[in-house]
Chains A and B, each alone.
Chain A
Amino acid sequence: DQQVKQNSPSLSVQEGRISILNCDYTNSMFDYFLWYKKYPAEGPTFLISISSIKDKNEDGRFTVFLNKSAKHLSLHIVPSQPGDSAVYFCAASARVSAASKLTFGTGTRLQVTL
């Protein structure tokens, strides 16, 4: 049972445009959400997070939006750069204070073209 779903396996965006990556979850106990970025042959690296008490968190070019009623979150990257090309994983946790024991989605491969 996939509790965290990323329905788009891949996404291609032109440099300078907005990239929007989507994630849905089913477990209503999840209250902390994260995005990780993974380059080939490297481990995932933490990008940005949001707790369920917020609906938006911004860090430079990256913004995460959370819609609790729809159990949906999205990652916006503006403007997209070629170095953003990677696999992006959405993750969720049931304990805000722990940020541990994460449940991950299946990933979305983002390609930013010139």
Chain B
Amino acid sequence: DVKVTQSSRYLVKRTGEKVFLECVQDMDHENMFWYRQDPGLGLRLIYFSYDVKMKEKGDIPEGYSVSREKKERFSLILESASTNQTSMYLCASSLPPSPLHFGNGTRLTVT
């Protein structure tokens, strides 16, 4: 069974801090994704990656960057956290044509 692990369930950070959200998958999936979930807005794609060291912007990349140095790991970076980045962050992986498998999410609060 596919396992997507997000390193933290809850994070509290201060405005202006650099924040790293880590995600690891154990099924050798090519594709990895970062979404954020907000009430009334559903899931919105931030960044995705089809291969190691490869990244593409999603629908809302502003204020974020990503890193994929190894196939199994995809990191989301908030360069300078702001209060409007308080959200639930969801990592997912897939091996087409199979559907996305999601981790359990990281609830980030920026104060």
> Are A and B a genuine interacting pair, yes or no?
yes
B74 at the interface (CB under 8 A from A): no
How many B residues touch the partner, as a band?
A: 20 to 34
A43 at the interface (CB under 8 A from B): yes
Cα(A45)–Cα(B101), bound, Å? 7
A56-67 interface mask toward B, CB cutoff 8 Å, 1 = contact, 0 = none?
A: 000000000000
Cα(A106)–Cα(B9), bound, Å? 22
A9 at the interface (CB under 8 A from B): yes
Contact A43 B96 (CB under 8 A): no
How many A residues touch the partner, as a band?
A: 20 to 34
Chain A residues with CB under 8 Å of B99's CB are 34, 46, 49, 99
Q: Closest CB of chain B to A6's CB: distance in Å?
A: 8
A28 at the interface (CB under 8 A from B): no
Chain B residues with CB under 8 Å of A114's CB are none
B67-111 interface mask toward A, CB cutoff 8 Å, 1 = contact, 0 = none?
A: 000000000000000000000001010101111111111000000
Q: Point out which of A4, A44, A100, A104 has the most chain B C-beta atoms below 10 A from its C-beta.
A: A100
Chain A residues with CB under 8 Å of B42's CB are 4, 6, 89, 104-107
Contact A43 B97 (CB under 8 A): no
A72-99 interface mask toward B, CB cutoff 8 Å, 1 = contact, 0 = none?
A: 0000000000000000010100001111
Chain A residues with CB under 8 Å of B33's CB are 100-101
Chain A residues 31-60 with CB under 8 Å of chain B are 34, 36, 41-46, 49
B4 at the interface (CB under 8 A from A): yes
Q: Closest CB of chain A to B21's CB: distance in Å?
A: 14
Q: Closest CB of chain A to B95's CB: distance in Å?
A: 9
Contact B90 A101 (CB under 8 A): no
B6-26 interface mask toward A, CB cutoff 8 Å, 1 = contact, 0 = none?
A: 000100000000000000000
- The 6 nearest A-B residue pairs measured at CB: A43-B102, A106-B42, A104-B43, A46-B99, A98-B96, A104-B42
Contacts A89-B42, A96-B97, A98-B31 aside, 6 further interface pairs with beta carbons under 8 A come to A41-B104, A97-B97, A99-B94, A99-B97, A103-B45, A106-B42
